[in-house]
Structure 1
Amino acid sequence: MSVPLSILDLAPVPSGSDAGAALRNSVDLARRAESYGYHRYWVAEHHFADGVASAAPAVLIGLIAAATDRIRVGSGAVQVGHQTPLSIVESFGLLDAVFPGRIDLGLGRSGQRRAEALAAAAAPRPAPRTSSAVVDGLLIPPPFDFTAIAASPRWAVHAGLQQQPGAESPDFAEVVDDIQALIGGTYARDGVDVHATPGEGAKTELWILGSSAGRSAQVAGERGLPFAANYHVSPATVLEAVEHYRSAFRPSAVLDRPYVLVSADVVVAETAEEARRLASPYGHWVYSIRSGRGAIPFPTPAEASASPLPPERLALVQDRLDTQFVGTAAEVSRQLAVLQRVTGADELLVTTITHDHGDRARSFELLASHWLA
């Protein structure tokens, strides 16, 4: 039996469109996803990107939950470096109060890691792996170095706009512990009990998202929480991430064994040729992110064809192109089955971006009809 299949949505803005249309498309896609049989519908958190409209996950989750009936809706992920534990718990507690038993709270460290990235860039380190590997049929490309982006003036300005002046983000483990304590009704400081309303007693599922064998995987494992690993963002480190999580895992009141969700970027169409055409702008879109500019509105295939990426730009995104699953439903399902087998994933999370909303919805429909049959 196939593992459950879920969706990650960035509310992509196609070229020639706007954020309002993108958000309406997300609500429409969530309705369709529920009818197709998907298990969860998660929305990402991204800022300062012309081509992505999912800047406020809790708000978008409320819109989607109100438009659907059964599918779980959640964040993939809330960037905890930009909010306090209390604000996160109250926002998601409010959602749980209105849509009980359907809300997932996924937490990510994005927004906390700029200082760490800069320190890593300055520290001596071994030469990175420069060649791809194939592990039991799964492509593991060389790692991408994010330190140049972290050191850019643009990132510094963006980071400053997302926090109050002089604010410092606490350790990720402390944030997770505070969130669990506020939800559980056990938070106290300096002899004062603190209770969050709404939030305390919420039945949200708490998740940790991570891209490497680092702090996120460690915290998720030690606290016995489910862990989501990003093959679609950082394919080079997905195996290290899930191995580290499982090694660190301790049974909890939430889980008695590790639970791993793994993401993948996919495009499905009636024919492989059509799927490749729909996916052809993907390299341009990823390059806009990795060059430090931020995601551009997703181009049309014709726009991408008219301005092909030169070799030096193509090299910057080759790992993401090589690990995007593109083809018919049967072809993509075979690739997803390999990803699931090699990572031991208990669930898969797929994300798809095409210029046309109808093509994106059809991609999810075709995949579900094959994978969930």
Structure 2
Amino acid sequence: MQKYSILDLSPVPEGSTTADALQSTLDLARHAEALGYHRFWLAEHHNMPGIASAATSVVIGHVAASTSRIRLGAGGIMLPNHTPLMIAEQFGTLATLYPNRIDLGVGRAPGTDMQTARALRRNMDAGDNFPQDVVELINYFDDAALDATVQAIPGTGTRVPVWILGSSLYGAQLAAYLGLPYAFASHFAPAALEAAAETYRQTFQPSRFLDTPYFMMAAGVFAADTAEEAEFVKSSQLQAFANLRLGRPGKLPRPVRDVEAVVPAPYLASAREALSVSATGTPDTVRDELRALVDRYQPDEMIVTSMIHDPTARKHSFTLAAEALRNLCASPALA
């Protein structure tokens, strides 16, 4: 493994506001930079009371203005919600303001429910234009052709790195075909992780972007000074997953000591399965569980994430995780 990074969903905890959540995101990004994390990515979600990063490019710009080295980007932008030109202009502007620091991960899902997708003016026809949209987007970041009638300004010539994101084999196949880096959403959809990684690596076609495949996997991390405290802080995300499946999304719930008492058993089992690619516990346990994931899936990079109610506990969790991840990158067998 070469690098380690953070995916932040800008969670809005119960008892706080979106303004609080965005300030916590900024604080966490500064903290991540000091800890040596390579990237800090934000994700596009809509109509979700517990997530404050809907205007993803705006939040990225806010964070970029208050950091100096860490790479920033989208993990990701849900491209079917937008025209490629608009995204090229947004991220071209970011890359112009903050050179060599901006990444653009793109996904195929709407990042919301279908009613909200319609409100976003998303194209709702049955056709899948995602591959063509990705190619169009990449072309806007290239030098403009002499006969180009439409350009992304800013954007042209910025060569913003484009990643394909996915939770199934579709994204793996597309990333391999286009020769792009690939990130798998194993932090909430682990079922196809092994097959997607294998498909991507075996079918990868070298391109002007990459000579060899570059695979990033996502993992949850819930680290604390004691095992009991780690399970306590993790209970917020378990509740949030269950609430989403129960059709009652809301702000990130307060943690509880006995999560079995507040979440129906079938929904708790489903949430635990969704979060199964994760490391939970003391620093030693988190180190061992992260090492097991790296040994099994051999990612080039790991991006870690967690929805923890208390911002201070969240920063502490990422502090403990950083030491473990730093050691994994330094290990000759895994570098």
What TM-score, normalized by structure 1, do the two folds share?
0.82
Which residue is equivalent to 1:358? 312
What is the CA–CA distance in structure 2 between the aligned matches of 1:20 and 1:273, rounded to whole Å?
30
Give ranges in structure 1 of 5+ residues lacking alignment. Answer: 113-153
For the 8 Å contact 2:221–2:321, the answer to whether it is kept is no
1:54 Cα offset (Å): 1.0
Kept in 2: contact 1:228–1:263 (CA 8 A): yes
Q: Which of these residues, 137, 143, 154, is aligned with residue 198 of structure 1?
A: 154
Shift of 1:371: 2.6
* Matching residue of 1:182: 140
Matches within 5 A, 1:1-373: 3-111=2-110, 155-163=113-121, 170-186=128-144, 193-214=149-170, 216-294=171-249, 296-302=250-256, 305=259, 308-373=262-327
Amino acid at match of 1:371: L
Please tell me whether the aligned partners of residues 12 and 52 of structure 2 are also in contact (alpha carbons under 8 angstroms): yes
220 and 193 in structure 1: CA distance in 2 versus 1, 3 angstrom threshold: same
8 Å Cα contact 2:142/2:159 also seen in 1: no
**C-alpha separation in 2, matches of 1:230 and 1:307:** 29
> Given residue 267 of structure 2, which amino acid in structure 1 is its aligned partner?
R
Distance 2:321 2:42 in 1: 19
Q: What is the CA–CA distance in structure 1 between the aligned matches of 2:106 and 2:91, rounded to whole Å?
A: 12
The one-letter amino acid of 1:342's match is R
Superposition CA RMSD, Å: 2.2
Partners in 2 of 1:68 and 1:35 — Cα distance?
A: 10
Tell me, yes or no, if the aligned pair for 1:7 and 1:40 is still in contact at 8 Å: yes
Matched residues in 1 for 2:277 and 2:123: separation?
39
Distance 1:170 1:195, change over 3 A: farther
**Cα distance 1:262–1:248, how it changes in 2: closer, same or farther (>3 A)?**
same
Distance 2:180 2:277 in 1: 27
Pairwise CA distance, 1:305: 4.8
How far apart are 1:167 and its partner, in Å? 7.0
Output the amino acid matched with 2:150: V
Paired amino acid for 2:55: A
Task: Count residues with an aligned counterpart.
Answer: 327
TM-score where L is the length of structure 2: 0.91
Distance change in 2, residues 1:316/1:97 (3 Å): same
CA offsets 1:54-109 (integer angstroms, 9 cap, x no match): 10110010011111000000000000010000001000000000000000011111
Distance 1:247 1:62, change over 3 A: same
Q: 1:333 to 1:185 in 2, by over 3 A?
A: same
Corresponding residue of 1:140: none
Percent identity at matched positions?
A: 39
The answer to whether the 8 A contact 2:230-2:282 is kept is yes
The Cα shift of 1:291 comes to 3.2
Match of 1:143 in 2: none
User: What residue identity is the alignment partner of 2:323?
Assistant: S
Paired residues of 1:268 and 1:332 also in contact (CA < 8 A): yes
| Alpha-carbon distance in 1 for matches of 2:143, 2:325 | 40
Return closer, same or farther for 1:327/1:178 CA change in 2, 3 Å cut-off: same
**Secondary structure at 1:46 match in 2:** coil
